[in-house]
């Protein structure tokens, strides 16, 4: 579990839901819950809050698992950064999910062109005060964006969800998160576009521990303090991706995996270049 700066805690591994939607999406999320995931990521822009909420409600009604044991997370879209628009969008998200409250709401990205992310953050603070949202955070924020919202509102985000994987370990931003008491959530945790499954540091560690390369990468996240959100529509992979607590990478293995970032050498500019962010 990760302790958040607001006193709540969230699981060490979550489930990603892009691009799941419709009935098939509901079934995949339901399978993930059956397979043990207790943190489900979503976003207004994924157009799947409805089926994520349906899967969670169906699961809770038959499993005996209590509502408090499942963390449902969504994200405010970049087009809703005006204060009133952000407040309304928060209510819309909770309504689409069909839940009494949202456990985590993140600002999906700073949308620097409109430059209204401080307003959006103040709206999230208000939604938290009203009890509609339990924990609040951001996504794709740089250290500068974080400093700006903290200075403006006096409230530090509990979470920053950013791209993190062995090709892009975000060591500097993660260190800043640690300094500020912010939990790092990792999107595309296995490695955007192409996963480094065949890279020697990953493949060698997998062979040494008798696990899969995906498990090595997810375990690496856990050991460096990053909370990965792997998505899989494949039930066996869902199980595999959660089963990363029965072995430990050595310090040398962790360091060797991080060196893959140096080979890639990208800098984080806070602008997600994927699918769903506008």
Q: Figure out which of the listed residues 92, 233, 254, 268 binds ligand NAP, where binding follows CB under 6 A.
A: 233
Q: Which is nearer to ligand NAP, 132 or 216 (CB)?
A: 216
d(CA 11, CA 216): 18
Q: Taking CB under 6 A as the rule, which mask of x and - marks residues 192-231 in contact with ligand NAP?
A: ----------------------x--------------xxx
* Contact assessment for residue 142 and residue 157, using Cβ atoms and an 8 Å cutoff: no
Contact between 169 and ligand NAP by CB under 6 A: the answer reads no
Catalytic residue among 37, 46, 117, 167: 46
The least distance separating ligand NAP from the CB of residue 60, rounded to whole angstroms, comes to 21
Contact between 41 and ligand NAP by CB under 6 A: the answer reads yes
* Contact assessment for residue 170 and residue 146, using Cβ atoms and an 8 Å cutoff: no
Q: Which is nearer to ligand NAP, 95 or 274 (CB)?
A: 274
Helices (H) and strands (E) in the chain, counts: 10, 9
Q: Which is nearer to ligand NAP, 106 or 151 (CB)?
A: 106
Per DSSP, the three-state class of 136 is: strand
Contact between 237 and ligand NAP by CB under 6 A: the answer reads yes
Exposure letters 120-136 (e unless 16+ CB within 10 A, then b): bbbbbbbbbeeebbbbb
CA torsion through residues 24, 67, 214, 273, sign? positive
46 in catalytic set: yes
CA distances from 72 to 36, 60, 212 (A): 14, 12, 28
Q: Which is nearer to ligand NAP, 66 or 112 (CB)?
A: 112
Q: Which is nearer to ligand NAP, 154 or 212 (CB)?
A: 212
Q: Figure out which of the listed residues 90, 110, 166, 189 binds ligand NAP, where binding follows CB under 6 A.
A: 189
Residue 158 phi/psi, 5-degree rounding, is -80, -25
The least distance separating ligand NAP from the CB of residue 75, rounded to whole angstroms, comes to 6
d(CA 121, CA 123): 5
d(CA 218, CA 189): 7
Active site residues: 46
Q: Which residues bind ligand NAP (CB under 6 A)?
A: 16-18, 41, 139-140, 161, 187-190, 214, 229-234, 237, 240-241, 272, 274, 277
């Amino acid at each position: 579990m990760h302790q958040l700066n607001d006193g709540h805690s969230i699981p060490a591994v979550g489930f990603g839901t892009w691009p799941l939607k419709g009935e098939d999406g509901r079934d995949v999320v339901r399978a993930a819950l059956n397979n043990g995931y207790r943190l489900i990521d979503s976003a207004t822009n994924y157009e799947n809050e409805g089926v994520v909420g349906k899967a969670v409600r169906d699961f809770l009604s038959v499993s005996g698992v209590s509502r408090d044991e499942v963390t449902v997370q969504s994200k405010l879209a970049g087009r809703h950064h005006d204060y009133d628009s952000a407040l309304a969008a928060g209510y819309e998200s909770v309504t689409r999910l069909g839940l009494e409250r949202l456990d985590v709401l993140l600002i999906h990205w700073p949308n620097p062109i409109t430059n209204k992310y401080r307003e959006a953050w103040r709206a999230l603070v208000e939604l938290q005060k009203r009890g509609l949202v339990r924990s609040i955070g951001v996504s794709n924020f740089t250290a500068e964006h974080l400093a700006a919202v903290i200075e403006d509102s006096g409230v530090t985000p509990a979470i920053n969800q950013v791209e993190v994987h062995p090709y892009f370990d975000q060591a500097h931003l993660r260190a800043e998160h640690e300094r500020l008491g912010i939990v790092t959530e990792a999107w595309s945790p296995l490695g955007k576009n192409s996963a480094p499954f065949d890279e020697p540091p990953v493949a060698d560690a997998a062979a040494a521990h008798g696990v899969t390369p995906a498990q090595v990468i997810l375990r690496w996240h856990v050991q460096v303090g990053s909370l990965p959100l792997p998505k899989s529509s494949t039930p066996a992979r869902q199980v595999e991706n959660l089963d990363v607590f029965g072995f430990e990478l050595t310090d040398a293995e962790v360091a060797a995996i991080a060196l893959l970032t140096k080979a890639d050498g990208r800098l984080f500019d806070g602008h997600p270049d994927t699918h769903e962010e506008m």
